[in-house]
Structure 1
């Protein structure tokens, strides 16, 4: 494929090109605000000047903001100033936030008083204030003068004359097992991923993205907040993916055509949405966790929608592969994006597939490690996922390498255990973890939100499938609600703690 990615990219400059071509097009919206390209460019010019006055020459700037238009204005303002946004995950605990700040050597964090109040994050802010200076959007907005506005307007007229230095963004891993790692994505990484997506799946300027995923989620950043300005596709930002009743109403009102989410989120939207509310949707993509069979079937039967499963990682900006309406295989995560290469490395004890290794222009620059600094990415990025690639090029994710239990010397996929429970009971609300076991090395504990589940029925089912009894959980425990990470994935680390009685 003849897809060329320039070596030097600044995403502000790329946004300006589109703003010059389509000044009156509404490109970004949330429940409170609406921006045309021209209004957005002027707002970015004004905010960039205010940030410059407040932060002087600080290279890295923390962002602690919700998924609303103001956050995207600040993001592109930092791009314009050739500063590096460090996007903090507001669902992390206070200690993890402090670890992120230390890892990236951040001195100032931009946030909002209204957001802190609404999200009840005052206790986190108190800890942050011990480490960094806090700058509030409300204070910057109050300090915007007629001079700032006039300068922003004049700059919009001559925008594009100055070429900016290539930039980068820092996102953070969830830090459930150790201190969070900073993932350094260059503007070129993000731009390349957007161009790869356009070359892989058919999108048009008439499409409308509905994005409830926050900026700290790499899909929310690249697809929901940057792609609109590079690809001239309007995005509607919704502040929380957890408002299961309201989101279908908002999709209907916006007439959105593209919707991205996780299996867990889609399972909950399906409980409240009507076919009419989802009638405008053309492309619905699931990522971040495996799409369960019952959720896929519910969307097909109730809404007439085929969910296209995709696959990505923060380290790859994030999209790696995706099914498309023209190239679709159930149970797979689609084919690799253009310009990417993959290979499978054998893993001892794992019978099916192997460790998936990747390279391409969308693969990160490297990690920031707490106490160690920058560690560049090698030639191949190790996903830590066990996968197979079939003879047609479709990728099948079997499990995370960490999602295996070693029982009596055998590697048992915890994803497979969950799938067996789904097949046995007809529902997907089962979550398996492994914990140490003195006799067999490890044991499997299954959590479920379903009442009256028979462990005996599951044992009989596993036997009927002629599978090893090592797939049978040591115990099944009821839980009222499955803990989630901010990305929408199940928080298996918390479940492990519960399984150990901690």
Structure 2
């Protein structure tokens, strides 16, 4: 049977359908609360009324909240009110946050006093308040009266599908190259991606998703927070992916079966986890950055887990391709999910592969550009990734087009430089960037947290592989830690800045 996505999708209506079908089933939990479908729908109904009274009919509303159930309640409350949530990345600097507020023309941002205090973000909120009205979740909750609760309960019991106008959600790119762009995803984009994943990999009714990724991360939002209200699969929200000791314990306690993280995060969890803590995990997916062979091997040998490489982008809601236990090829990011098409466009100077172009029902509506407004997506979405698709349909990501250095007229993949260092030294603790060079155009600087690294050994290794010495970094810098983005990816922009200063 061919997968078909309806034209009219509203995610609030999907919640109502699930709540009517499974009222008493627990659907979402965090470290301090647990909600059945029925309880969640009542909370959403009450919250939607409070939002209506407090915010009025603002078209777009900013959310600056941690990874807790309260944020998902606000998200669906806004869906019910036909307003667009704009999920602000609290790991961005103050300037980028203000840029996001301006890009989306926000008048209101919802945050939490407890969160702002714990995360020490008071200075960011102070800057926000110069631009927008800031509303605190605690004040909304305190303002809920007995009358609100009774009317909310009555409305929930009589709630019917709204058949509302197509809704949207706005996420923001990290803004490491210029001002952050708003990515406009429709409810249909997100719903399509969930259905595509269900058609691609076997997710069961009793599966339990463990989600430490924040909602401003597209996977944290789509799979970790919205999927349960479309499919009936439970999710557990953990407030931070950086709690390396606590997360294995929480997975064990929840008996989670699905877990998604980045290579960097997986490497750190492995240091503290026991085999027993990970024994219930059935589907473990790595995304956002390349899964390194040493991390893959650690999970296979220590935990008996095969990590499945996946690939996605905020602009595709986010999942594009995924290895499965049935169709798996090491070194690839799997096959395209159903209803997606791909083509490879040649790039001058790049010998292997080309620019990966995509289309499908999960591809964004378009961008919000600072100072320009909405720019619709073209027929094909340009990923900016250099890739190859093999004869079996598996996608090999060679690197970001921006992750190539042009040295003496040659295009050198920075990902390949990192891979050579990994092969040579046996650890995936190497991060390459390029900076301008008066003589050769650009030069490569590599950062590592590994002490006692010999340039001579790497040079010998590159020669032994019969590869060009252009792959040899101009310098190798040892640092205490590698800066990360909120998504868990290495922050190459910060490393590039550091390289230029040195």
SS class of match (2:248): helix
TM-score, length-normalised on structure 1? 0.99
SS class of match (1:294): helix
Stretches of structure 1 lacking an aligned partner (at least 5 in a row): none
* Aligned counterparts of 1:466 and 1:120: Cα–Cα separation in 2: 51
* Aligned counterparts of 1:171 and 1:125: Cα–Cα separation in 2: 19
- What's the CA shift for 1:396? 0.5
Q: Paired residue for 1:276?
A: 276
- Cα deviation code 1:79-131 (max 9, x no counterpart): 00000000000000111000000000000000000000000000000000000
Q: Paired residue for 2:331?
A: 331
- Cα deviation code 1:219-252 (max 9, x no counterpart): 0000000001111000000000000000000000
- Over aligned residues, Cα RMSD in angstroms? 0.6
Bigger CA drift: 158-167 or 179-188? 158-167
SS class of match (2:195): helix
Q: Paired residue for 1:427?
A: 427
Q: Paired residue for 2:151?
A: 151
- Cα deviation code 1:156-179 (max 9, x no counterpart): 111224322210000000001100
Q: Paired residue for 2:67?
A: 67
Moved over 6 A (4+): none
* Aligned counterparts of 2:119 and 2:161: Cα–Cα separation in 1: 41
- Cα deviation code 1:266-289 (max 9, x no counterpart): 000000000000000000000000
* Aligned counterparts of 1:245 and 1:317: Cα–Cα separation in 2: 30
**Paired residues of 2:16 and 2:161 also in contact (CA < 8 A):** no
SS class of match (1:500): helix
Q: Does 1:94 align with 2:73?
A: no
Q: Paired residue for 2:4?
A: 4
- Cα deviation code 1:324-370 (max 9, x no counterpart): 01110011000001000000000000000000000000000000000
SS class of match (1:96): helix
SS class of match (1:179): coil
Q: Paired residue for 2:453?
A: 453
Q: Paired residue for 2:354?
A: 354
* Aligned counterparts of 2:347 and 2:166: Cα–Cα separation in 1: 38
* Aligned counterparts of 1:328 and 1:152: Cα–Cα separation in 2: 48
**Paired residues of 2:345 and 2:355 also in contact (CA < 8 A):** yes
* Aligned counterparts of 2:103 and 2:175: Cα–Cα separation in 1: 12
Q: Does 1:391 align with 2:391?
A: yes
SS class of match (1:47): helix
* Aligned counterparts of 1:136 and 1:43: Cα–Cα separation in 2: 17
Q: Paired residue for 1:201?
A: 201
SS class of match (2:501): coil
* Aligned counterparts of 1:177 and 1:383: Cα–Cα separation in 2: 15
* Aligned counterparts of 1:451 and 1:293: Cα–Cα separation in 2: 20
* Aligned counterparts of 1:182 and 1:305: Cα–Cα separation in 2: 36
SS class of match (2:476): strand
* Aligned counterparts of 1:160 and 1:32: Cα–Cα separation in 2: 30
Q: Does 1:19 align with 2:19?
A: yes
**Paired residues of 2:13 and 2:161 also in contact (CA < 8 A):** no
Counting only pairs closer than 5 Å after superposition, residues 128-167 of structure 1 correspond to structure 2 as: 128-167=128-167
Q: Paired residue for 2:479?
A: 479
Q: Paired residue for 1:400?
A: 400
Q: Paired residue for 1:372?
A: 372
- Cα deviation code 1:20-43 (max 9, x no counterpart): 000000000000000000000000
* Aligned counterparts of 2:449 and 2:318: Cα–Cα separation in 1: 31
Q: Does 1:314 align with 2:318?
A: no
Q: Does 1:436 align with 2:436?
A: yes
Q: Does 1:176 align with 2:176?
A: yes
Q: Does 1:228 align with 2:233?
A: no
- What's the CA shift for 1:8? 1.0
* Aligned counterparts of 1:280 and 1:181: Cα–Cα separation in 2: 39
SS class of match (1:149): helix
